[in-house]
Amino acid sequence: MEDSLHTLPTPQAITDPADPRLDDIRHLNSSDARPDLPGGKGLVIAEGKLVVSRLVRSDFPVRCIVGFPEKIQALREELANEPVRDTPAVYEVDRETLAEVVGFDMHRGLVAAANRVVERTVAGVLSNIPSGPATIAVLEGVGDHENIGACFRNAAGLGVSAVLLGAGTADPLYRRAVRVSMGHVLRVPYAHFQGKSTNWQQGLRALQERGFTVIALTPNTDVDLAQAIASVRRQQPEGARIAIMVGAEGPGLTEHAMRAADLRAAIPMAPDTDSLNVATAAAIGFYAARF
């Protein structure tokens, strides 16, 4: 085992909700004091054993793990034979104490806080994608944290190599996004494009220079997704490299984004249906591109 790797320390019991050792998970529902605000502590918050275990296995430095005794024990058993990178403080609390600290009844009974890491650049993310067939996601203006989380979960499940974020996209490390993603936002590489709503799209050139064909999903085209994917595969018979780009709920992609794309494609839908949820549309695009 490397010197920098450790096992989880023995938990300490805390009974006082005001104990400052619990400040990293305090007021999770507060609009201006919650610890995951980028302008404040900017911590990453994970809830539940599955997501907490993914946080512990990630590159994010874990500061503390807090939970009911039986939840802490279950986590320790899961990680018993795995070295962890950090030595976070581990605290056992009862249900009433945890509820008072976080601001609601956390029935999952386990929560952890970690520091953010320096975000990757778009160039850095792209440089780590091997040559050959690959799919990446591009999100523009997706401001709902649950949709962001669902997009990351879909990306992980469907083999997407990275998620790239355009202007107006919500913070992927917000607590709700982390939870809905089932912790996959902690492991799927992502980066933000530089620029504002009218010029971030210039960053798509970096994808195209690396052989990616950018497909903008929009209902306002006569080309369906299957046709678009087939045309890319004909042009890249050695293995298609495709970027699936989706926009905000309601307005969809901006015209600036669609003009910067290589192709526009629609997902065929039943009559009297104007659109799909953005995470659902993205998942269909990922599946079509990958399989």
Which CATH number does the domain housing residue 143 bear?
A: 3.40.1280.10
Q: Among 114, 134, 169, where does a domain finish?
A: 114
Residue 6 lies in a domain: no
**Once rounded to an integer, what is the mean pLDDT over residues 190-219?**
97
Q: Which of 187, 216, 211, 230 is nearest to 46 (CA)?
A: 187
Identify the band that residue 2 occupies on the pLDDT scale cut at 50, 70 and 90. very low
Residue 90 lies in a domain: yes
**Once rounded to an integer, what is the mean pLDDT over residues 193-214?**
96
If asked whether residues 92 and 226 sit together in one domain, one would say: no
If asked whether residues 182 and 286 sit together in one domain, one would say: yes
Q: How far apart are CA 258 and CA 215, in angstroms?
A: 9
| Amino acid 134: pLDDT | 98
pTM: 0.94
Percent of the chain at pLDDT > 70 equals 96
Q: Are 63 and 114 in contact (CB under 8 A)?
A: yes
If asked whether residues 49 and 143 sit together in one domain, one would say: no
Dig out the tokens for 72 from the structure: 């802490």
Q: Among 63, 95, 114, where does a domain finish?
A: 114
Contacting residues for 115 by C-beta, under 8 A, at least 6 apart:
42, 43, 44, 60, 61, 63
**Full residue range of the structural domain in which residue 107 is found:** 12-114
Instruction: Examine the pLDDT at 1 and tell me if it is beyond 50.
Output: no
If asked whether residues 71 and 203 sit together in one domain, one would say: no
Q: Pairing state of beta strands 134-139 and 241-246?
A: parallel
**Once rounded to an integer, what is the mean pLDDT over residues 60-78?**
96
Q: Are 63 and 90 in contact (CB under 8 A)?
A: no
| 3-state SS class at 163 | strand
- CA of 153: how far to CAs of 53, 160, 172, 232, 261, in Å? 16, 10, 12, 25, 24
**Once rounded to an integer, what is the mean pLDDT over residues 182-209?**
97
The number of beta carbons lying within 10 Å of the beta carbon of residue 87 is: 13
How many structural domains compose the chain? 2
Q: Among 85, 114, 143, where does a domain finish?
A: 114
